[in-house]
Amino acid sequence: MHNTIINRNLTSRHAALIIALLASISFLLGGCHSSKPNDSGKGREQTIHVGKGSKLGRRIAEEAMTWIGTPYKYAGTEKGKGTDCSGMVLRVYEDIAGLKLPRNSAHQAEFCKPLRSDEVEAGDLVFFATGSDPSKVSHVGIMVDDRQFVHASTRKGVVVSDVTTDYYTRKFMMYGRVSR
Protein backbone atom coordinates (compact mmCIF):
# COMPACT_ATOMS: atom_id res chain seq x y z
CA MET A 1 0.00 0.00 0.00
CA HIS A 2 2.86 2.35 0.81
CA ASN A 3 4.31 1.85 -2.70
CA THR A 4 0.93 2.62 -4.24
CA ILE A 5 0.77 5.94 -2.38
CA ILE A 6 4.31 6.83 -3.50
CA ASN A 7 3.51 5.89 -7.11
CA ARG A 8 0.32 7.96 -7.05
CA ASN A 9 2.27 10.96 -5.65
CA LEU A 10 4.97 10.57 -8.30
CA THR A 11 2.33 10.24 -10.99
CA SER A 12 0.51 13.37 -9.82
CA ARG A 13 3.84 15.22 -9.58
CA HIS A 14 4.73 14.11 -13.10
CA ALA A 15 1.31 15.11 -14.36
CA ALA A 16 1.65 18.55 -12.74
CA LEU A 17 5.12 18.95 -14.26
CA ILE A 18 3.89 17.91 -17.69
CA ILE A 19 0.94 20.31 -17.48
CA ALA A 20 3.24 23.16 -16.42
CA LEU A 21 5.65 22.33 -19.24
CA LEU A 22 2.87 22.23 -21.84
CA ALA A 23 1.43 25.51 -20.57
CA SER A 24 4.87 27.13 -20.83
CA ILE A 25 5.35 25.87 -24.37
CA SER A 26 1.88 27.10 -25.37
CA PHE A 27 2.65 30.52 -23.90
CA LEU A 28 5.97 30.77 -25.74
CA LEU A 29 4.48 29.68 -29.04
CA GLY A 30 1.35 31.77 -28.69
CA GLY A 31 0.86 35.40 -29.45
CA CYS A 32 -0.81 37.53 -32.00
CA HIS A 33 -1.38 36.02 -35.42
CA SER A 34 0.18 38.90 -37.32
CA SER A 35 2.86 36.77 -38.94
CA LYS A 36 3.94 33.24 -39.59
CA PRO A 37 7.22 31.88 -38.22
CA ASN A 38 10.20 32.11 -40.52
CA ASP A 39 10.01 29.31 -43.05
CA SER A 40 12.48 30.55 -45.62
CA GLY A 41 15.39 28.41 -44.46
CA LYS A 42 13.47 25.19 -43.84
CA GLY A 43 15.80 24.45 -40.92
CA ARG A 44 19.10 24.93 -42.71
CA GLU A 45 21.64 27.73 -42.58
CA GLN A 46 21.43 30.18 -45.43
CA THR A 47 23.19 33.33 -46.47
CA ILE A 48 21.03 36.26 -47.51
CA HIS A 49 22.49 38.75 -49.94
CA VAL A 50 20.96 42.15 -50.53
CA GLY A 51 19.52 42.33 -54.03
CA LYS A 52 19.43 45.12 -56.58
CA GLY A 53 18.29 48.56 -55.61
CA SER A 54 19.34 52.12 -55.08
CA LYS A 55 22.24 52.81 -52.75
CA LEU A 56 19.77 54.01 -50.09
CA GLY A 57 17.46 51.03 -50.61
CA ARG A 58 20.38 48.64 -50.18
CA ARG A 59 21.43 50.44 -46.98
CA ILE A 60 17.86 50.14 -45.67
CA ALA A 61 17.83 46.39 -46.40
CA GLU A 62 21.26 45.95 -44.81
CA GLU A 63 20.12 47.78 -41.67
CA ALA A 64 16.94 45.67 -41.52
CA MET A 65 19.11 42.54 -41.53
CA THR A 66 20.98 43.80 -38.44
CA TRP A 67 17.64 43.56 -36.60
CA ILE A 68 17.43 39.77 -37.12
CA GLY A 69 17.07 38.08 -33.76
CA THR A 70 15.44 41.06 -32.04
CA PRO A 71 12.56 39.69 -29.94
CA TYR A 72 8.97 40.53 -30.78
CA LYS A 73 7.43 43.21 -28.57
CA TYR A 74 4.09 44.79 -29.37
CA ALA A 75 4.55 48.57 -29.89
CA GLY A 76 8.33 48.18 -29.52
CA THR A 77 10.87 49.96 -31.71
CA GLU A 78 14.24 48.98 -30.22
CA LYS A 79 16.78 46.84 -32.04
CA GLY A 80 17.98 44.01 -29.83
CA LYS A 81 15.37 44.74 -27.14
CA GLY A 82 11.99 44.34 -28.80
CA THR A 83 9.94 45.48 -31.79
CA ASP A 84 6.83 44.80 -33.78
CA CYS A 85 6.74 44.84 -37.58
CA SER A 86 5.82 48.49 -38.14
CA GLY A 87 8.09 49.65 -35.32
CA MET A 88 11.11 48.08 -37.01
CA VAL A 89 10.19 49.62 -40.37
CA LEU A 90 9.63 53.02 -38.78
CA ARG A 91 12.99 52.96 -36.98
CA VAL A 92 15.02 51.63 -39.94
CA TYR A 93 13.65 54.30 -42.27
CA GLU A 94 14.16 57.02 -39.69
CA ASP A 95 17.73 55.97 -38.84
CA ILE A 96 18.96 55.29 -42.40
CA ALA A 97 16.88 57.60 -44.62
CA GLY A 98 15.88 60.28 -42.12
CA LEU A 99 12.24 59.69 -43.03
CA LYS A 100 9.41 59.65 -40.52
CA LEU A 101 6.88 56.96 -41.46
CA PRO A 102 3.48 56.42 -39.85
CA ARG A 103 3.48 54.08 -36.84
CA ASN A 104 1.20 51.27 -38.05
CA SER A 105 1.46 49.00 -41.08
CA ALA A 106 -1.87 50.07 -42.64
CA HIS A 107 -0.84 53.73 -42.59
CA GLN A 108 2.63 52.83 -43.84
CA ALA A 109 0.98 51.15 -46.85
CA GLU A 110 -0.97 54.34 -47.57
CA PHE A 111 2.30 56.29 -47.35
CA CYS A 112 3.89 54.21 -50.16
CA LYS A 113 3.73 54.23 -53.92
CA PRO A 114 2.33 50.81 -54.95
CA LEU A 115 4.68 48.62 -57.00
CA ARG A 116 4.33 45.67 -59.35
CA SER A 117 6.34 42.60 -58.35
CA ASP A 118 8.81 43.17 -61.21
CA GLU A 119 9.60 46.65 -59.81
CA VAL A 120 10.51 45.52 -56.27
CA GLU A 121 14.02 46.34 -55.04
CA ALA A 122 15.95 46.06 -51.81
CA GLY A 123 14.53 48.45 -49.21
CA ASP A 124 10.98 48.41 -50.57
CA LEU A 125 8.15 47.38 -48.29
CA VAL A 126 5.80 44.41 -48.51
CA PHE A 127 2.37 44.38 -46.89
CA PHE A 128 0.08 41.56 -45.79
CA ALA A 129 -3.40 41.10 -44.37
CA THR A 130 -2.71 38.67 -41.54
CA GLY A 131 -5.33 39.86 -39.07
CA SER A 132 -9.02 39.09 -38.79
CA ASP A 133 -9.92 41.38 -41.72
CA PRO A 134 -8.58 39.84 -44.95
CA SER A 135 -8.90 43.17 -46.76
CA LYS A 136 -6.89 45.28 -44.28
CA VAL A 137 -3.11 45.58 -44.09
CA SER A 138 -1.89 44.34 -40.72
CA HIS A 139 1.73 43.28 -41.31
CA VAL A 140 4.78 44.81 -43.02
CA GLY A 141 8.32 43.80 -43.89
CA ILE A 142 11.37 45.22 -45.67
CA MET A 143 12.42 43.53 -48.90
CA VAL A 144 16.02 42.31 -49.05
CA ASP A 145 15.79 41.11 -52.65
CA ASP A 146 12.92 40.17 -54.95
CA ARG A 147 11.74 37.29 -52.66
CA GLN A 148 13.19 37.61 -49.15
CA PHE A 149 11.95 40.11 -46.59
CA VAL A 150 12.83 41.01 -43.00
CA HIS A 151 9.92 41.32 -40.57
CA ALA A 152 9.00 40.94 -36.92
CA SER A 153 7.32 37.58 -36.39
CA THR A 154 5.22 37.43 -33.24
CA ARG A 155 6.61 33.98 -32.53
CA LYS A 156 10.27 34.24 -33.51
CA GLY A 157 11.06 37.94 -33.43
CA VAL A 158 12.79 39.55 -36.38
CA VAL A 159 13.45 36.98 -39.10
CA VAL A 160 13.85 36.65 -42.86
CA SER A 161 11.01 34.97 -44.76
CA ASP A 162 10.19 34.21 -48.39
CA VAL A 163 7.26 36.13 -49.86
CA THR A 164 6.55 33.27 -52.30
CA THR A 165 5.59 30.69 -49.64
CA ASP A 166 1.96 29.57 -49.62
CA TYR A 167 1.18 31.47 -46.41
CA TYR A 168 2.53 34.83 -47.57
CA THR A 169 1.11 34.41 -51.06
CA ARG A 170 -2.37 34.01 -49.52
CA LYS A 171 -1.90 37.00 -47.19
CA PHE A 172 -0.13 39.32 -49.67
CA MET A 173 -1.65 42.79 -50.17
CA MET A 174 0.94 44.93 -51.96
CA TYR A 175 4.51 46.04 -52.45
CA GLY A 176 5.26 49.68 -51.78
CA ARG A 177 8.08 52.19 -52.13
CA VAL A 178 8.59 55.06 -49.76
CA SER A 179 9.43 58.29 -51.61
CA ARG A 180 13.04 58.85 -50.71
Residues marked active site are found at 85, 139, 151
Say how far apart CA 171 and CA 61 lie, in whole Å.
22
Say how far apart CA 106 and CA 155 lie, in whole Å.
21
Say how far apart CA 123 and CA 162 lie, in whole Å.
15
> 44: which residues sit within 8 A by CB, 6+ positions away?
none
Residue 162's DSSP bridge partners are 148
Say how far apart CA 17 and CA 88 lie, in whole Å.
37
> 13: which residues sit within 8 A by CB, 6+ positions away?
none
- Contact criterion met (CB below 8 Å) for 72 and 152: yes
